[in-house]
Structure 1
Amino acid sequence: MATLAAHSPVEAQPAHWTEGNPSEADLAHIPGEAGLPIVGNTFKMLADPHAMARRMVETYGPVYKNRAFGGWNVALIGADANELVLFDRQKLFSSEQGWGPILDQLFPRGLMLMDFDHHRADRRALSIAFKPEPMRHYSGALNRGIGKEVANWAGEMLFYPKIKQLTLDLAADSFIGIPWGPEADRINEAFVDMVQASVAPVRKPLPFTLMRKGVKGREFLVDFFTQETHKRREAGGGQDMFSQFANATHEDGSLLAVDEVVDHMNFLMMAAHDTITSSATSLVWLLAKNPEWQGKLRDEIIAVTGGPDAQGRPRDLVYEDLGKLDLTEMAFKEALRMVPPVPSTPRRALREFEYGGYRIPAGTPVGINAHYVHHSEEHWEDPYTFDPMRFTPEKVKARHKYAWVPFGGGAHMCLGLHFAYMQVKILMAQLLPQYRIEIAEGYDPQWQAWPIPKPKDGLKVEFKAL
């Protein structure tokens, strides 16, 4: 998997994404392969991107070229490559031009599609939504919403669709501050369509294509969020995330344009909705496979919250106690290592640079691979084993800082990472004191790797009341 940054094997990308891209001759000095005529290695990558990446590294080394999705990419593999691209000391790489071919029709002007000064200004304006007071408000909403839903989880279920619906409901409460009305199913469908369209082979919204469904989903959400933005500005105040965004200002005190608020809200709702769904699912799966760790987290949570109340219900995990769940955080970090919700990250080189002994021309689409590095024996002993103790302070300090990058890094570090930690910790605090999570003996679900990892069968689990 060189990168998610993709050109279509069926439809050419807009000129502004391909102008200045290097030719095959420009990349002749870099090892790699073109694959089949027209489609290149596209279908191999879609079938099993992780196996593809392993084979390419074993065959060509940690810098290789690959033709897929209608164009050439150069993969830069390793923790040093992660640091080079994510920290980007020399401002060599464009995130906008890396993600643009995938997301510009679906999530334009989201934070990931901004570079340098524009990105910094909008990130500063939006960061107000993640200050302590709004975060304390979100924690109350999360405790209420999760507690109410989890109380009814006894028995067998497919976990992925259940947690996906719950995260959408929680986003409605915490992000928008209202319960969803009759639009609920349509909003959920719109997000699903947009994410699936991000790796659709046909990049034009032709009738009956995934891209058409994704673009229609965006149109629906833009209309919904535009109306809501005007309502929030008229009302003023509000601790929910949308109200914070709607009233966010630039450094000169001017409000963000309505369409900017809408695009940021659309993007961050997708990011929170789908990435938290993926990471919560991987954690539940890994805890079911490792019941001894389930027990350790349960004991820690009970020690911090005080155990069930007089009615036998778990007590809320209050905002001030979030930092006390050390083992729970370490287990979540290990789940993010094993199943990073963003397996690879695209960029485009703005200038020529050298890495790993190779000259990379200006204009080259490049990508780093978090999943590969997260499973590299160079940094992780027995990397396919679940071991949260990898994240003790001592081991973290001794390890390459960019060997673990589920939230990205540098200027584009995920703005909502603390919200993700909070939501998953509250989920565990409501879930583990009530239930033992079990899966059938020998059960090992297959995971869809792209665009955001999920178990293909929905993850069959059973919650047994304690």
Structure 2
Amino acid sequence: MTAAATERPAARLEDIPGERGLPIIGHTFDIIRDPVAFGARMRREYGPVYRTNSFFRDSVTLIGPEANEFVLMDKGKNFSSEKGWWPYIGKLFPRGLMLLDFAEHRAHRHIMAAAFKTEPMKGYLERLNDAMPERIKAWGEEGHFEFYPAIKKLSLDMATTVFLGLEPGDDSTRVNKALTDMVAASMGVVRVPIPGTKMARGIQGRRFMIDFLGSLIPERRGSDQTDIFTQLCKARDDDGNTFTDQEIIDHMIFLWMAAHDTITSSVTTLVYELGRHTEWQDKLRAEITALGLNDGRLPYEKMNDLTLTEYAFKEALRLNPPVPAMPRETVREVEFNGHVIPKGTIVGLSTVTTHRDPETWPEPGKFDPMRFSAEGGVKERHRYAWVPFGGGAHMCLGLHFAYMQAKVIMTHLLPNYELILPEGYKTRFQIMPLIKPVDGLPITLKAIQ
């Protein structure tokens, strides 16, 4: 028998269970409308590995902690993050850290890590502590408002302050519109910038961001400011390598988008659950008050003392992971769970499905922060059962900044106000492209005397 005769036949997508949906558009509208319900149906009918079609591409979805570990750890370097994300955000956020692969990604990440070391992080924390009280007080004076647009504005202001070292104003308003248009374009059905489409507005937003950031770089390279933008302009690795102007722009656009949209989504979920479960609101308030903070400022060395606050934030991220799915593209034929996936296939991980799987998370719809405690089984649970920040080489570089920002918000909010939802209130969360309440989340803040 010849060697050729013993070779395995080339992998075919048709051999993977699943369906293609409607002609041309496939399951695009089903996924946009309700990706959780669609994923549940596909998994029920075809199992944890299934084939589908959306956004004009065939793809394979892998469900579960083992699938998350296989793809995110990527020990065989089988998966391209750049090619996976490109169909969705490549025209809008090219060359961001998540859209780089292998050695190039490692080199850029190594330089960028300088902006997230302890000393720069302490500077970011001080900026947050400086800016937060005035904004929280404004919420309290308003009393009753929609929380989602309010936290979105606050997180944009914080991104402007911490990331750029600028005070909010006309620039931040234009930046907010540009980034909002860019994120919306990522889920637009029309994928070319035809005038009047979401993609056209997204591309226009990117052009604005390039011009805006590019004009600031020369002065920041020699500045002693403590914002993230300045840190990236000055960052260098152990060999003295630095970023070019365009690399700084690409990384800043991506970081800015990821940071303010992620914290907007996750803190909204946290506030919603604290409003529904007032006993947890009381527990976090007591934990924060016990720190005995001066002027309500959270010191860097006390960050880790907010254990219950961190558990609650993690549970909010479990219930509603800000990034509900993570795509990759196979760079070679790969086998998982008995299925052979061809080279050049989009492979999707469903974060939101894994986080709501009753086999991994008993009573998955219940808000239970103690899941993340030792007694709640955190050490026994599969380490890739909870992946709001991804994992492996592409683990979110700003995850500790996200924890810090959420803790600062709670530190300035809970000791001063009760969070009150309307009687009998329950909201519905839109999943794509980023999770948010469809009604904005009406809330009342009641001052604590």
Global fold match (TM > 0.5):
yes
Out of 35-44 and 72-81, give the one that drifted further.
35-44
CA contact (8 A) 1:305 1:316 kept: no
**Equivalent residues in 2 for 1:93-172, closer than 5 Å:** 93-154=79-140, 155-172=143-160
* 1:188 partner amino acid: N
Which residue does 2:6 correspond to in 1? none
Deviations along 1:107-154, one digit per CA (max 9) or x if unpaired, are 110001000110001011011111111111111111121111101222
Q: Shift of residue 240 of structure 1?
A: 1.2
Alignment of 1:332 with 2:313, yes or no, is yes
CA contact (8 A) 2:163 2:227 kept: yes
Q: Shift of residue 26 of structure 1?
A: 2.2
The CA distance in 2 between the partners of 1:305 and 1:345, in whole Å, is: 41
Alignment of 1:288 with 2:275, yes or no, is yes
The CA distance in 1 between the partners of 2:237 and 2:407, in whole Å, is: 33
CA contact (8 A) 2:147 2:442 kept: yes
Which residue does 1:192 correspond to in 2? 180
Q: Percent identity?
A: 51
Alignment of 1:416 with 2:403, yes or no, is no
CA contact (8 A) 2:114 2:237 kept: no
The CA distance in 2 between the partners of 1:171 and 1:185, in whole Å, is: 12
Which residue does 1:11 correspond to in 2? none
Q: Shift of residue 442 of structure 1?
A: 2.2
Q: Shift of residue 457 of structure 1?
A: 1.3
User: Which one of the candidate residues 314, 330, 343 is aligned to 1:362?
Assistant: 343
Deviations along 1:294-318, one digit per CA (max 9) or x if unpaired, are 0000000000134xx6xxxx51111
**Equivalent residues in 2 for 1:414-453, closer than 5 Å:** 414-453=396-435
* Superposition misfits of 4+ residues, deviation over 2 angstroms: 235-238, 249-252
Unaligned runs of 5+ residues in structure 2 are 1-10
The CA distance in 1 between the partners of 2:316 and 2:263, in whole Å, is: 12
The CA distance in 1 between the partners of 2:447 and 2:168, in whole Å, is: 30
Deviations along 1:207-257, one digit per CA (max 9) or x if unpaired, are 000000000000001001111111201x33322111110112255324211
User: Which one of the candidate residues 327, 332, 346 is aligned to 1:351?
Assistant: 332
CA contact (8 A) 2:111 2:236 kept: yes
CA contact (8 A) 2:318 2:386 kept: yes
CA contact (8 A) 2:115 2:232 kept: yes
**Equivalent residues in 2 for 1:34-433, closer than 5 Å:** 34-154=20-140, 155-233=143-221, 235-306=222-293, 315-394=296-375, 395-433=377-415
* 2:116 partner amino acid: F
* 1:325 partner amino acid: L
CA contact (8 A) 1:197 1:214 kept: yes
Out of 441-450 and 124-133, give the one that drifted further.
441-450
Which residue does 1:3 correspond to in 2? none
Q: Shift of residue 184 of structure 1?
A: 2.1
RMSD: 1.3
Q: Shift of residue 443 of structure 1?
A: 1.4
CA contact (8 A) 1:250 1:256 kept: no
* 2:98 partner amino acid: M
The CA distance in 2 between the partners of 1:250 and 1:431, in whole Å, is: 38
Deviations along 1:47-101, one digit per CA (max 9) or x if unpaired, are 1100000000000000000011111110011100000011111111000000011
For the residue of structure 1 that corresponds to 2:290, the secondary structure is: helix
Number of matched residues? 436
The CA distance in 1 between the partners of 2:325 and 2:27, in whole Å, is: 16
CA contact (8 A) 1:305 1:317 kept: no
